[in-house]
Amino acid sequence: MSGEASTWLNMPERGVLLGIRFVYWFATAFGRWPARAFVKILALWYRIFDRRAVRGSRAYLSRIHGRPPGWWEIYRHILRFAHVSLDRMFLLSNKVSAFTFTRTGDENLQRLAQTKQGAILLGAHLGSFEAMRLGGAEDEVPINIVGHFENAKMVNALFERLNPDMAARVIHVGQSPMNLMLTIKNRLDAGELVAMLADRVGLRERAVTVEFLGAPARFSAGPFLVAATMKVPIYLTFGLYTEPNRYDLFCLPFVERVRLPRKRRQEALQELVQDYAKRLEEFCRKAPDNWFNFFDFWAQAPPPEAAPPREVGE
């Protein structure tokens, strides 16, 4: 089994349907603040009993802080994920009065909406993509999200009930590669945006190893190859969460045109992914407790290949 398969894609869905429905009922009946207090208890349970999540959190926090994290630092990391996951219910239900949003680069979304130009929105499991997608909806920009949902079927089934319109814009990676590319092409050709996350690698998915937080790590090459094939620009998009209710939304240009010259295709791809990893690291340092990959992200990653001077996107 490949390293990525054993770390996240085949991990059983955390929690059971009854528990998920209970949290939804509790949040609906009593509101966000009582629900936030309740998920503190859930986060504490995972901190004590979920060894895999704790190991993943410890590996990341050790790198981002440059020292081993304390017991409560790991708990706060898990709790931050629980709070952001809880907020998904309210964001998808368009219950946003409790939140404060800041926007950096919103003019980029507005320009894409006006010109009806297709583009890749490149994110990560950092903060809340629902918050970023909500910003796109307010700008009347159709955003489709591509991802693996095999290991979170119950959670996503609930979120589909909360917002069927957004659920209709989910593109599942599990379909055949030809159908997947055709679906993405049709959405981009229609002037819509396609959101992809590059910080997890699926089964049989092409990966590139680069430096991230001081060690080699594997990132998905898919979003960059799609942008090169479809000849569309890439924008970095993140929604960073700050207690107790603020989301800082970013939509920043990354590369206007992905060029992968035939004679140095792998090197050019390597440079591009390395640039993404560097930008992701910068945003992780802005909000260190917002990165939600609770597995050993650096496991089984070979050393990155050396690359000649940059030519991609110039």
Q: pLDDT (tens digit, 9 = 90+) per residue, 244-302?
A: 999 999 999 999 999 999 889 999 999 999 999 999 999 999 999 999 999 889 986 66
The percentage of the chain sitting over the pLDDT mark of 90, rounded to a whole number, equals 57
Q: Which helix (H) or strand (E) holds 210?
A: strand 207-212
Q: How far apart are CA 274 and CA 283, in angstroms?
A: 14
Q: pLDDT (tens digit, 9 = 90+) per residue, 82-99?
A: 999 899 888 888 888 889
Q: pLDDT (tens digit, 9 = 90+) per residue, 202-223?
A: 777 889 999 999 999 999 999 9
Assess whether pLDDT exceeds 80 at residue 41: yes
Amino acid 179: pLDDT? 86
Q: Which helix (H) or strand (E) holds 79?
A: helix 71-92
Amino acid 308: pLDDT? 43
Average pLDDT value over all residues in the chain: 84
Amino acid 305: pLDDT? 52
User: Residue written as tokens 């603020």?
Assistant: 246
The structural domains of the chain, with segments of one domain joined by +, span 3-290
Please report which confidence band the pLDDT of residue 167 belongs to, taking 50, 70 and 90 as the band edges. Answer: low
**CA dist list (Å): 194 to 55, 123, 278:** 32, 11, 22
Q: How far apart are CA 154 and CA 152, in angstroms?
A: 6
CB 273 within 8 A of CB 305: no
Residue 238, C-beta contacts closer than 8 angstroms, at least 6 positions apart: 123, 124, 126, 127, 132, 249, 250, 283
**Section 26-34 average pLDDT:** 90
Cis ω on the peptide bond leading into residue 223 (within 30° of 0)? no
**Section 90-118 average pLDDT:** 89
H helix count then E strand count, the chain: 12, 9
Q: How far apart are CA 53 and CA 297, in angstroms?
A: 11
**Section 107-114 average pLDDT:** 89
Please report which confidence band the pLDDT of residue 132 belongs to, taking 50, 70 and 90 as the band edges. Answer: confident
Amino acid 164: pLDDT? 63
